[in-house]
Chains A and B, each alone.
Chain A
């Protein structure tokens, strides 16, 4: 089965205000998609709706994931079915250590898949191995989840979690923002290491720079709640050069969808 995710005519509102106004998107296994677009057009909203955030109201449309109706799955079951969202603003959770968090998550996911829980030593070994993916220091992993982490550390921690949980569909929401140049390379390398022919990745970003490392198969422009333009990776370069004004003009002139 090649196709993994299919979004059809998705309309989403928050507190009565329509944010997504008919999004269409198809993602196949093995692909990398980039979503770009001006601030406030609904990129994070799209990611949250896929993760299952209850605050958003889906008023129209469908999302099919691995041939299942995504809306039938609870937040946790979506994760257990292989969806991972790297959040733009990861939450701080005082008192919950990263290792307790990951152990609980991993064992619940394993249980869902009919696998026995990891032993303590297996788990520790896995942690050590995956910490290397994003060059996470030992100090961080003993701390409470994201508590007092710098912006960049939070983003690294998201990718570390992704490495631990080995998702099939990863949606990375501005994982590059706030990263210094070295960290950007480390994170991008991490994402690339985790990519396989069976997995798909959607990266949401404002900067073409990330796409030098994580090379997308398709670039989409989300504008006014819709994907108004899609193109090859060169589209990202064009956007970086020209900004979004021309998209806006073409959109208003009805030249785009």
Chain B
């Protein structure tokens, strides 16, 4: 029996999610939730030499949320901040074959992109403390609020 959304790849990715856990004293810690379905996650990162030296996440989420969060953490670990702050939603979704959610499921897309929203907001706060140029920072915040 098969299902277009609940493929073995997605269920396995969620069940054996990468980087689940907690960081001690992280440089960035961002919580976010979807009140409608109850997904609730915290994304934590350490930054060294302008790149993500470590990343962990924890919380309670549905299969779609967990699978996408797992992929997101794989994509950003070890990468420099320039890449991370420009990470596009399509990159995460395509890893799991979920691009079609963008068009077809306004509800489930929120589950898929919750961790990306947390990432953008977390970076916004982190970079804000270092007084980056404010125009590009506001872009980041704007992007987070317009993800879905």
State yes or no: do A and B come from one complex: no
Give the B-binding residues of A (Cβ under 8 A).
none
